[in-house]
């Protein structure tokens, strides 16, 4: 199964896609919490790992729909740091599945480049086995020139860990910074999601109405869409319902979001964010992250 599926639309599905696209206000960035794989497996008398495999197939469909709808960025919550608490068998099964899928990226390089898909993995990948770290790094490096669809995979991730990592980065690498340079704008730039706009829509399946430590910092003006369907059962209509709900919500929340964007810009303007000192720090952060990635990708 490919990362981007070759989904064949029926005529009425194409019509629905065109209608939704014509409505405007397509989210630029959508985040998925792919919940319900294990419950689906249980309901179908399958092994847990088969539920996760079915879940991946649906992700490939979703990526296809996102590409066709013109959504530029997708972030998926694949594996939480909290998931290490699961049984050893299940964790190993999930890591094997991840190995298989990241290998697939390396094999599908040409196809991903054709679609313009850039893979970015966000999370504490230092907690993962070394071979998987190398695979992840390679997948990120070989797709880094693409820019049509950004796929961010939250793997070995929790939002608290991400925020702690941002604080840690400032404390460890910010020798040249002044205390007055530190504000929420700078902290935001030190998150794993630097260079990524906040999600416009968070789509969570399986009827749960919590966020489960996913992108907590970034969700301040994101529309949360909760649906009862289990992730492996998601279809085009569920997906389009979420987009339609976002389009309508966006009409109502537009002024609030505009005000937040203005405050965000003002914060950068009136703090030291554009100072040479801060910009040099951010450049050095980018260089540091890039060098870590390159060294991981060249390791065996």
Partner 1 sequence: MIDRLYKLIWLAVHIIVSIYETLCFLYLRFQALIIWSYDFWQNSASITRRDRAYLLGCKAELTKLPKHLNLIIGPDQLGCVNESVVTNILSYAQILGIDCVSLYDVRSEGVSVKQIFKRRKSYWKELQHNQFELGPEEYESTSKDINKNGCNVNGYARNGNIVGENGSLCNGNAYKNISSAHMKVYQISNEDNRPLLAKICRKLFQQRDTSNVQKLLADRKQLEQHISEELANHMQWNFVDPDLSIIFNRDTCSFGVLPWQTRFTEFQTFETGRYMNAENFANVLYKYSKCEQRWGK
**By CB under 8 A, residue 9 contacts partner 1:** no
**By CB under 8 A, residue 265 contacts partner 1:** no
Closer CB to partner 1, residue 141 or residue 163? 163
Specify the stretch interacting with partner 1 by CB under 8 A; choose among 100-108, 212-220, 231-239, 276-284. Answer: 212-220
- DSSP H helical segments within the chain, as ranges? 11-22, 37-43, 48-69, 88-107, 109-115, 130-142, 159-173, 184-189, 236-270, 276-298
* Minimum CB distance to partner 1, residue 276 (Å): 19
Cα–Cα distance, 156 to 80 (Å, whole number): 5
Task: State which of residues 11, 110, 145, 179 lies at the interface with partner 1 (CB under 8 A).
Answer: 179
> H-helix or E-strand containing 224?
strand 223-226
Task: State which of residues 159, 205, 238, 272 lies at the interface with partner 1 (CB under 8 A).
Answer: 159
Tell me if 63 sits within 8 A of 3, measured CB to CB: yes
Cα–Cα distance, 120 to 143 (Å, whole number): 9
Cα–Cα distance, 61 to 132 (Å, whole number): 24
Count of residues that interact with partner 1, criterion CB under 8 A = 60
**By CB under 8 A, residue 210 contacts partner 1:** yes
Closer CB to partner 1, residue 105 or residue 223? 223
Q: Where does residue 121 fall: left (phi above 0), alpha (psi -120 to 50 degrees), or beta otherwise?
A: beta
Just list the catalytic residues: 35, 52, 149
CA angle 161, 176, 126 (to 5 degrees): 25
Sign of CA dihedral 128, 129, 134, 139: negative
Tell me if 52 sits within 8 A of 42, measured CB to CB: no
**By CB under 8 A, residue 41 contacts partner 1:** no
Closer CB to partner 1, residue 56 or residue 225? 225
* Minimum CB distance to partner 1, residue 48 (Å): 12
Cα–Cα distance, 14 to 12 (Å, whole number): 5
Q: Please report, as residue ranges, which positions from 180 to 209 form the binding site for partner 1 (by CB under 8 A).
A: 182-184, 186-188, 208-209
Q: Please report, as residue ranges, which positions from 112 to 131 form the binding site for partner 1 (by CB under 8 A).
A: 124
* Minimum CB distance to partner 1, residue 72 (Å): 20
Task: State which of residues 223, 230, 243, 293 lies at the interface with partner 1 (CB under 8 A).
Answer: 223
**By CB under 8 A, residue 225 contacts partner 1:** yes
Ramachandran angles phi, psi of 261, nearest 5°: -65, -40
The contact mask relative to partner 1 for 244-263 (x = CB under 8 A, - = no) is x--xxx--xx-xx-------
> H-helix or E-strand containing 73?
strand 73-80
Task: State which of residues 73, 108, 161, 189 lies at the interface with partner 1 (CB under 8 A).
Answer: 161
**By CB under 8 A, residue 284 contacts partner 1:** no
Closer CB to partner 1, residue 142 or residue 253? 253
The one-character DSSP state at 188 is H
Binding site for partner 1 (CB under 8 A): 18-23, 80-86, 124, 158-161, 163-168, 170-172, 174, 177, 179, 182-184, 186-188, 208-213, 216-217, 219-226, 244, 247-249, 252-253, 255-256
């Amino acid at each position: 199964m490919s990362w981007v599926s070759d989904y064949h639309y029926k005529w009425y599905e194409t019509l629905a896609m065109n209608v939704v696209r014509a409505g405007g206000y397509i989210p630029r960035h959508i985040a998925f919490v792919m919940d319900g794989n294990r419950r689906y497996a249980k309901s179908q008398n399958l092994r847990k790992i088969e539920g996760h495999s079915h879940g991946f197939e649906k992700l490939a469909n979703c990526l296809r729909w996102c590409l066709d709808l013109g959504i530029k960025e997708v972030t998926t919550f694949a594996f939480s740091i909290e998931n290490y608490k699961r049984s050893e068998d299940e964790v190993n099964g999930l890591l094997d599945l991840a190995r298989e899928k990241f290998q697939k990226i390396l094999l599908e390089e040409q196809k991903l480049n054709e679609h313009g898909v850039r893979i970015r993995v966000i999370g504490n990948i230092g907690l993962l086995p070394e071979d998987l770290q190398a695979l992840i790094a390679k997948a990120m490096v070989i797709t880094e020139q693409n820019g049509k669809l950004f796929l961010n995979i939250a793997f070995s991730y929790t939002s608290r860990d991400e925020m702690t990592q941002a604080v840690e980065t400032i404390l460890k690498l910010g020798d040249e910074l002044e205390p007055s340079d530190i504000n929420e704008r700078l902290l935001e730039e030190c998150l794993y999601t630097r260079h990524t706009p906040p999600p416009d829509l968070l789509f969570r399946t399986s009827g749960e109405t919590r966020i489960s430590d996913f992108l907590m910092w970034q969700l301040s003006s994101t529309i949360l869409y909760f649906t009862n369907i289990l992730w492996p059962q998601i279809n085009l209509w569920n997906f389009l319902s979420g987009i339609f709900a976002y389009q309508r919500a966006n009409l109502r929340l537009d002024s609030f979001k505009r005000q937040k964007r203005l405050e965000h810009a003002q914060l950068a303007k009136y703090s030291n964010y554009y100072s040479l000192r801060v910009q040099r720090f951010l450049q050095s952060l980018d260089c540091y992250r890039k060098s870590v990635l390159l060294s991981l990708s060249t390791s065996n």
